[in-house]
Structure 1
């Protein structure tokens, strides 16, 4: 036996070690091939476990049809409420407007998304809206350019100079409107939404591009109304479609604004760049940037974007406040008393009301805050994850959208007692600036730059209405989709307080 073994030609020790190593490598390689599917399956299972619960709904359309159906109902938040109960979570996955989406009705998750920068999330909007906004829109740009445009616009909107101008313009513009309403006699019927839109649009456009009331203003307003109705339309740009008509309206507005920009540049050259004159409107502010990145096209596009609150958000805020006040006589009475007290004090002192006077009206500000909470003029925003992001234990995969749904948070009975009741007094003890559950203007780097101006304009309108008239509201109801508005324009019948005092 030993002789037989000795006769076998065994390899040398070095070649034997090499063979053993090759066999070991081959064994490991084969083992990995067997384990890869298992490891991938485990990785998928782990990812699924971290994803929020939910369902993608129907093929192609997902849950969009149900979302839109609920949005047209009196309670749009029912879409979220049903899934919140079904999945046991205020954060769930869905498929909306053609994208895999994580929906958040959790205040902490929503705030974390809003506070994130472009390294985690970038804006996402339906295709029709991105087509109309354009690549240079403040709603879509990112990084240093977004911070520069947002910072310049925000500083201008917060400036005392603009607030003084807007206050004087609103007082001057409201005076003939109030006189016309008085002239109609007791019981004159007004559609508040229409009047608020006309007044606010003209005032904000003057602050944005320096355009005065006249034929060009009327032309701009007509084109803007044609433009804004296409924001939520089918993404088809063929001639005759809604989107095509809105795009043509935007081009006409852009030409008008660019003529204004070019005229301003010409005057600057004549006067000299270093004349030191303070900016009179938002165009002046952006033109004075000096970086070279803010082209005429970018400026004109963003002026159009910044007109949206003038046509939509601020007038609707005013209209909703009047609707809610009409349904809450006690709140209306306290608002009236606060404003009448201010008016009498300023009259006795022989002074004109300043913007600081309007903003000092604490109960009036509570009314506006509560209107924003209940009205949800902006129901939510969408962001797209540029990488895998984990928020409060929930995974938002790269490429997915996250829908931060403000409305469900603002109407959450665990955060607000009796949330469907108009209760301005709740803000007497609640600090709206420190709570993550109140985000009507968004948050983070994209916080709406005009939030102070919106409050000021609403305060001025309410002050002059409640100190000049008593009113009786007709029945009207809120439409929540595609934008929030009053179906009938909020008709009220007004009687001048002068007439009431005279009759008494």
Structure 2
């Protein structure tokens, strides 16, 4: 009987503790919020509003989800995302604050899931002189003057992809939500990145890297709970395999350099060859690996999403399609059969790029991002405490009718004079000193791909559903299946 009472008492105590511990955690979590912080709720520890935001992104209602917060708390509010307290901001002033404020106040800081997957030495994480050193090294390869010589190689990759996966087909799915190699535009962009930036040619190694890469992306925005069978855990394991493969690749490139290979044959070789006045390698091996992973994600995101939504646009908007086709056919008819596109050809694709820019305005590949306050700072009349995240979004500014009249209307003429668009209002590639170093690479990749898609094929949609979800990048319903037919070459 005494033993029974003892067990009952112990069970009661355990039950009370199980009830009190979460209450204590919630109370202490809320006490961390000092006075004068923006209104809002941090929610439960670790989880916060993460699940709500991810659910809204996957149903393409994230803007509405944020608008509901704005109606309740105002344009600035506190929340908790992926295990960290954060302040949500948006608008032109917010974009300028994020992209133009120096590192004495805010610094790059991704959520734990992103930094753990991509690595802590990529430029998304670096600050001050380290950020400048690595960014300058990347720009030395990705600037227009350097990329001019690679247009032909990019042209070749696009044509090879279409020859292997489009010619002879009656139907393709443009963008898979599942992890599948094949005919997709995202596979095309991945091939270009592998070949041009990393010197990884077609074969088993590229296929393995592609598999790991796709699993990495799945967990980029996820709750950082490293348990088996979670997206986060699978992404971490994929990242580890990809980093190991890249390390082997760097070893090979280092040997190639020692044997007299050109330092400009690809991005990795370029980074390995950069030396200081003491002949010491400027960029560490770890920094090369982490920034290669970043560029894989960044280059893939923008270009594959943009190409997918451009194909959907052309199928739904005959007038835009006809105007782009006319511009591209003018270029094609002046090219001898089999000759690659040149930099001068890309310069002529002015209307095509305006269409691409307007597509990016309506369907930004990156929903938003994060910074971190390195000290208590004032913004909009509120205090952002030291070490809190700053969560900003792009699409809400690009759909602001005070900046872009009739924002839901597709109108490429908005970009006739880019200088007429107020600074920090159109930010698919960032802005100011934080503008994406791969901007020019994405432009070339997009224009070359569109040239061959539109001059060599026609297509019609096989799915009338125009909705899309974010996971975390936008993907059209059912992956945008299309019926294709070859066009007669001029």
Q: TM-score range by the shorter chain?
A: 0.7 to 0.9
| Secondary structure class of the residue paired with 1:146 | helix
CA shift, 1:166, in A, is 4.2
TM-score by length of 1: 0.80
| 8 Å CA contact retained: 2:189, 2:304 | yes
> Cα–Cα, structure 1 residues 202 and 492, in superposed 2: closer, same or farther, change >3 Å?
same
User: In the alignment, what sits opposite 1:464?
Assistant: 452
In structure 2, what is the Cα distance between the partners aligned to 1:121 and 1:108?
Answer: 15
Please identify the structure whose Cα radius of gyration is greater. 1
Matches within 5 A, 1:425-504: 425-431=413-419, 435-475=423-463, 476=465, 477-498=467-488
User: In the alignment, what sits opposite 1:72?
Assistant: 58
* Moved beyond 6 Å, runs of 4+: none
Matches within 5 A, 1:175-324: 175=160, 177-178=162-163, 181-184=166-169, 188-193=170-175, 194-271=183-260, 277-290=262-275, 291-292=280-281, 294-324=283-313
Long gaps (5+) in structure 2: 1-33, 176-182
In structure 1, what is the Cα distance between the partners aligned to 2:166 and 2:119?
Answer: 41
CA shift, 1:366, in A, is 0.8
CA shift, 1:498, in A, is 2.1
Query: How many corresponding residue pairs?
Result: 443
| Secondary structure class of the residue paired with 1:268 | helix
> Cα–Cα, structure 1 residues 293 and 361, in superposed 2: closer, same or farther, change >3 Å?
closer
In structure 1, what is the Cα distance between the partners aligned to 2:272 and 2:149?
Answer: 22
| 8 Å CA contact retained: 2:42, 2:85 | no
| Secondary structure class of the residue paired with 1:103 | strand
> Cα–Cα, structure 1 residues 180 and 63, in superposed 2: closer, same or farther, change >3 Å?
closer
User: In the alignment, what sits opposite 1:96?
Assistant: 81
In structure 1, what is the Cα distance between the partners aligned to 2:264 and 2:418?
Answer: 37
> Cα–Cα, structure 1 residues 176 and 91, in superposed 2: closer, same or farther, change >3 Å?
closer
**CA deviations over 1:32-65 (Å, ceiling 9, x no partner):** xxxxxxxxxxxxxxx956x54x311634344444
| Secondary structure class of the residue paired with 2:213 | helix
CA shift, 1:315, in A, is 1.0
| Secondary structure class of the residue paired with 2:319 | helix
* Match for residue 372 of structure 2 among 384, 398, 402: 384
| 8 Å CA contact retained: 1:381, 1:403 | yes
In structure 2, what is the Cα distance between the partners aligned to 1:302 and 1:238?
Answer: 26
| Secondary structure class of the residue paired with 1:402 | strand
| Secondary structure class of the residue paired with 2:172 | strand
In structure 2, what is the Cα distance between the partners aligned to 1:181 and 1:243?
Answer: 34
> Cα–Cα, structure 1 residues 179 and 248, in superposed 2: closer, same or farther, change >3 Å?
closer
**CA deviations over 1:440-483 (Å, ceiling 9, x no partner):** 11234432211111111111111111112222112243112332
In structure 1, what is the Cα distance between the partners aligned to 2:56 and 2:228?
Answer: 31
> Cα–Cα, structure 1 residues 451 and 236, in superposed 2: closer, same or farther, change >3 Å?
same
Matches within 5 A, 1:143-154: 143-154=128-139
Matches within 5 A, 1:14-29: none
In structure 2, what is the Cα distance between the partners aligned to 1:255 and 1:65?
Answer: 32
CA shift, 1:280, in A, is 1.2
In structure 2, what is the Cα distance between the partners aligned to 1:176 and 1:305?
Answer: 23
* Match for residue 409 of structure 1 among 397, 408, 419: 397
> Cα–Cα, structure 1 residues 337 and 266, in superposed 2: closer, same or farther, change >3 Å?
closer
| Secondary structure class of the residue paired with 1:307 | helix
In structure 2, what is the Cα distance between the partners aligned to 1:72 and 1:221?
Answer: 23
| Secondary structure class of the residue paired with 1:183 | coil
* Match for residue 82 of structure 1 among 68, 72, 75: 68
Matches within 5 A, 1:319-330: 319-330=308-319
Matches within 5 A, 1:362-381: 362-381=350-369
CA shift, 1:379, in A, is 1.0
In structure 1, what is the Cα distance between the partners aligned to 2:255 and 2:144?
Answer: 26
More displaced 10-residue stretch of structure 1: 65-74 or 212-221: 65-74
CA shift, 1:249, in A, is 2.3
In structure 2, what is the Cα distance between the partners aligned to 1:347 and 1:280?
Answer: 27
